[in-house]
Amino acid sequence: MSIYNLIIHAIFWLFGFLVIWKINYCETSMDRYNKKTVSIIIPARNEEKNLPVLINSIKKQNFNLKEIILVDDSSSDSTPKIGRNFKIRVLTLNNLPPGWVGKSWACYNGAKIATGDYLIFLDADTTLLPGAINNITSCLYNNGGVLSIQPYHQVKKFYENLSLFFNIILMAGIGVFTPLQSKVRPIGAFGPCLACSKSNYFKIHGHRDIKGEILEDIEIGKKFINEGIDLSCYGGKGTINFRMYPGGLKELIKGWSKSFTMGAGSTSIPILLMIIAWIFGAIFPVNLLVRGLIMSDKTYLLYSLIFYIAFMIQVYWMSYRIGNFHIIASIFYPFTLIFFIIIFFYSMFLTIFKKKVSWKDRDIKV
């Protein structure tokens, strides 16, 4: 076995620390921001199961909100009724104009009727923790510009652990959790939670100019950056949680496959290369194990064990900062990694050959 091969794969392992070196979280640090009024905008389509949890978590905040706006994107379930039962403002959109993607259309219309100084866009499957609005508005006030938060992933069913590598690579791909931190601009924003002043939102014409983009979060983040408005990205631990695809394995597969390939295409080349190298490195221990068993070579088996433990510890170190993934998902990480690779190539097939994806009972052209 070549020593150079071992050194190269050890470097690949180190890349994992570089792409997710430190994740910053929102913390409340001042009171002056309380003078700002806040409108929460929830774009929703067929979200009757998720909305009560989110709205209850908003109602429990120790922050005097200006308003909560539920934008119903032509739902066929009880989404608008739930909003009315909670006595929040409900805006129903019945027709999606040509060229628009549903979420962008909902966000844009919600922002147009909002009256707060700050706008906080929340996906319906998110949940705010106590003090979350204080944390978000404090960070927004301190940083200026725009704030984007990737929620902490709450795993409740065992199959949801299959989202592990998607979450890791999504966090790494944004490009700002490296040792360089704020010296590197993110490639875009996270989608589930976006906060900005109303004036900054309409300075870039909101979602109007990226109305047909499937990855509206990445594209609106780029718009802010191109207009010279700072974009800060944070992890959601301690502020905001979500459950991704609680409707079963089929929903999880459909959800991750709808846009993950395009997200990879937006990642900066150096970060993308390090992620790819890290994935190859994570497969290396399995390769050594198979070769060692076939050749009955104890040296291969020893190096396989060393690299496996190294990657296992690293994956767990990543996972606990982005979600409450079960430790088994890290111990048996090759299975969750193989699942990620399969779904990634399935997403590539949908993007390149079928040129459409399906979500929330809508076909979306790619």
Give CA angle at 94 (92, 100), nearest 5°.
105
Q: What is the spatial distance between Cα 366 and Cα 356, in angstroms, rounded to a whole number? A: 5
Pair (152, 209) in one structural domain: yes
Pair (230, 338) in one structural domain: no
Pair (237, 217) in one structural domain: yes
Pair (36, 176) in one structural domain: yes
The domain tally of the chain equals 2
Please name which of 267, 319, 308 lies closest in space to residue 9, comparing C-alpha atoms.
308
- 133-153: per-residue pLDDT in tens? 999 999 998 888 999 999 999
Q: Choose one of 247, 281, 315: the last residue of a domain.
A: 247
In a domain, 346, yes or no: yes
Beta-sheet pairing, 67-73 with 89-93: parallel
In a domain, 259, yes or no: no
Q: What is the pLDDT of residue 32?
A: 52
| Cβ within 8 Å of residue 84, ≥6 positions away | 90
CB burial class (10 A; 0-12, 13-18, 19+) of residue 35?
Answer: exposed
- Is a pLDDT exceeding 60 seen at residue 30? no
Beta-sheet pairing, 231-235 with 240-242: unpaired
In a domain, 253, yes or no: no
Residue with token string 């299959």: 162
- 73-92: per-residue pLDDT in tens? 999 999 999 999 999 999 99
Domain that holds residue 271: 3-20+267-365
Q: What is the pLDDT of residue 266?
A: 74
Give CA angle at 174 (96, 102), nearest 5°.
5
Q: What is the spatial distance between Cα 51 and Cα 248, in angstroms, rounded to a whole number? A: 18
| 312 φ/ψ angles, rounded to the nearest 5 degrees | -60, -45
- What is the pLDDT averaged over residues 114-123? 96
Residues 103, 105, 107, 110, CA torsion sign: negative
Pair (240, 105) in one structural domain: yes
In a domain, 27, yes or no: no
- Is a pLDDT exceeding 90 seen at residue 209? yes
Pair (96, 217) in one structural domain: yes
Confidence of residue 180 (pLDDT cuts 50, 70, 90): confident
Pair (278, 242) in one structural domain: no
In a domain, 261, yes or no: no
Q: What is the spatial distance between Cα 230 and Cα 72, in angstroms, rounded to a whole number? A: 30
